[in-house]
Amino acid sequence: MAANNRLKNQHLLWRAAFGPMAENAADLDTFSSKKLWSLLLKTSSRQPDKIEVAQNLVDGMVNGVQGLATMDAVARQEMARRRRIASQDELKNLNILWLNEMINSEAQLREKMSLFWHGHFACRVVNSYFQQELLHIIRTNAIGNFSDLLRDVSKSPSMLQFLNNQQNRKSHPNENFAREVMELFTMGRGNYTETDIKEAARAFTGWGFDARGQFVFRQNQHDPGSKTFLGQTGNFTGDDILDILLQQKQTANYITKKIYKYFVNENVDEAKAQWLGARFYSNKYDIQKLLEDIYTSDWFYEEKNIGSKIKSPVELIVGIRRFLPLEMDNDAAQLLFQKVLGQVLFYPPNVAGWPGGRSWIDSSTLMVRLQMPQVFAAKESINIRPKTDDDVNMGQMIDDNLRIRRNKMYADKGGSADIDWLVVNKIFEKTPRENLAQKISDTLLQTSSRVNSALLAKYLNAESRENYIKSAVVNLMSTPEYQLC
């Protein structure tokens, strides 16, 4: 069965962006997907403003280094401790500010691709200035050219520190950076030898950063000798290694397949992925053209690709907040949700980033996912819980006392919010009352399965049209089906 216009547009918005925003959700029935894609491109065309939380950290680092000579060991330890705490606080601010961009920015395509690259170039350093600069590199190049993105990320102090290249010297080569550049950033495991790693590490000797967090090439620490890498021989530098990696069609295929799994379907159609990879290579790693090949194709909108992806925690939080215009009691509560659900921005679990897919869901994270919309709406006087004679609580299976305790726990941490329901009500203003439940389901859910209408009716507050919409939206967002896009 072919997807209707609304379903196709919602599919595009969930994959190329973070889902529909309440203000434009009503228009998705009539908008063409091609026109919507053009709009996504247009709104993401402008270069992003830098998100800054650590303007003074660089000076602090320089002053700190200059003052080290006059400090005793205890004073140095205390200064390092204070700087670490300040960086942690600034990283939390960076997290919230970027999350707000994902929610509110018109540049949805840019921010969504930035989230993908944030996982691809996974980096975990507790240095707010370094992370801020790396994020700006990623957001600037997110839909530009992969070659530029790879070079800029590889020379960022954040990545050089995380992968130990600051310690990579000709007398003692450190292979960590070279290995991960090949395994995770470009070709993927199994497409190079241990000798290639050793030779690449020699080429990257001397790459580092100074006390101001600027990339430097330290000539006296670089191994200038001849190196043989992926069948080519020369006095290679780090830039030469990146050039050779980009010459490999395997790099284009690896990146393309990863993008296909993230944005189309975890079950990769090998023929389509190979075609996309060849196009990506011939288009000289133009990311926008690769995305255009995907999002303007008929096969992207096939039924098997719609509603097949488990939303990551960040996608879930941002998607709810785009559809429900709300003011959090405390924005920092979103960090708590990220932590509980397993995706804290700037804190990937390891160098490979978040595995995604089914790893997002277990018995405890699913419970929190199903509860989150009700936590946000906890201030509402509407009845968003079942009648007392129901034995199934819309997938939550918790008693009323536990629900109250849970809401209070999150509310104490600022987890509840004030929701602007007027904007949400406007989406459905032309929908007859008898069709409301179906229309709200079609707007919120991407899956072919639907919540049983008789079961849903037991949970809805029918005292007024407004309360009916509120209770339907919150309860449908609290279903397993809403976890998929």
Q: Is the pLDDT of residue 326 over 70?
A: yes
Please state, as a whole number, how many other Cβ atoms lie within 10 Å of the Cβ of residue 325: 19
List the one residue out of 155, 156, 153, 243 whose CA is nearest residue 200: 243
- pLDDT (average), residues 175-190: 98
The least confident of 193-202, 315-324, 452-461 is 452-461
* pLDDT tens digits for range 160-169: 999 999 999 9
- pLDDT (average), residues 67-75: 68
C-alpha to C-alpha distance for 33 and 459, rounded to whole angstroms = 34
CA angle 105, 125, 322 (to 5 degrees): 20
* pLDDT tens digits for range 331-372: 999 999 999 999 999 999 999 999 999 999 998 899 999 999
List the one residue out of 54, 47, 206 whose CA is nearest residue 138: 47
Per-residue three-class SS string for the chain:
CCCCHHHHHHHHHHHHCCCCCHHHHHHHHCCCHHHHHHHHHHHCCCCCCCCCCCCCHHHHHHHHHHHHHHCCHHHHHHHHHHHHHHHHHHHHHHHHHHHHHHHHCCCHHHHHHHHHHHHHCCCCCCCHHHHHHHHHHHHHHCCCEHHHHHHHHHCCHHHHHHCCHHHCCCCCCCCHHHHHHHHHHHCCCCCCCHHHHHHHHHHCCCEEECCCCCEEECHHHCCCCCEEECCEEECCCHHHHHHHHHHCHHHHHHHHHHHHHHHCCCCCCHHHHHHHHHHHHHCCCEHHHHHHHHHCCCHHHCHHHCCCCECCHHHHHHHHHHHCCEEECCCCHHHHHHHHHCCCCCCCCCCCCCCCHHHHCCHHHHHHHHHHHHHHCCCCCCCCCCCCCCCCCCCCCCCHHHHHHHHHHHHHCCCCEEECHHHHHHHCCCCCHHHHHHHHHHHHCCCCCCCCHHHHHCCCCCCCHHHHHHHHHHHHHCCHHHHEC
Instruction: Give the confidence band of 397 by pLDDT, cuts at 50, 70, 90.
Output: very low
Q: Is the pLDDT of residue 68 over 70?
A: no
C-alpha to C-alpha distance for 154 and 209, rounded to whole angstroms = 12
Instruction: Give the confidence band of 77 by pLDDT, cuts at 50, 70, 90.
Output: confident
In terms of pLDDT, which residue wins out, 100 or 2?
100
Asked if residues 457 and 421 have their Cβ atoms less than 8 Å apart, the reply is no
- pLDDT (average), residues 199-226: 97
- pLDDT (average), residues 294-304: 98
pLDDT for position 60: 43
The least confident of 65-79, 225-239, 275-289 is 65-79
Instruction: Give the confidence band of 229 by pLDDT, cuts at 50, 70, 90.
Output: very high
Q: Is the pLDDT of residue 382 over 80?
A: no
Q: Tell me the average pLDDT of the chain.
A: 91
Instruction: Give the confidence band of 403 by pLDDT, cuts at 50, 70, 90.
Output: low
Q: Is the pLDDT of residue 63 over 50?
A: no
* pLDDT tens digits for range 7-32: 999 999 999 999 999 999 999 999 99
Please state, as a whole number, how many other Cβ atoms lie within 10 Å of the Cβ of residue 216: 17
Q: For residue 164, which amino acid is it?
A: N
Q: Is the pLDDT of residue 383 over 60?
A: no
- pLDDT (average), residues 209-225: 96
The least confident of 206-215, 353-362, 394-403 is 394-403
Q: Where in the chain are the domains? A: 5-43+249-305, 44-143, 313-483
pLDDT for position 39: 98
pLDDT for position 399: 56
In terms of pLDDT, which residue wins out, 304 or 56?
304
The least confident of 43-52, 54-63, 185-194, 332-341 is 54-63
Strands 326-328 and 232-234, bridge-based pairing: unpaired
List the one residue out of 34, 24, 29, 79 whose CA is nearest residue 300: 34
The least confident of 133-142, 146-155, 265-274, 373-382 is 373-382
pLDDT for position 62: 44
* pLDDT tens digits for range 131-155: 999 999 999 999 999 999 999 999 9
C-alpha to C-alpha distance for 131 and 156, rounded to whole angstroms = 9
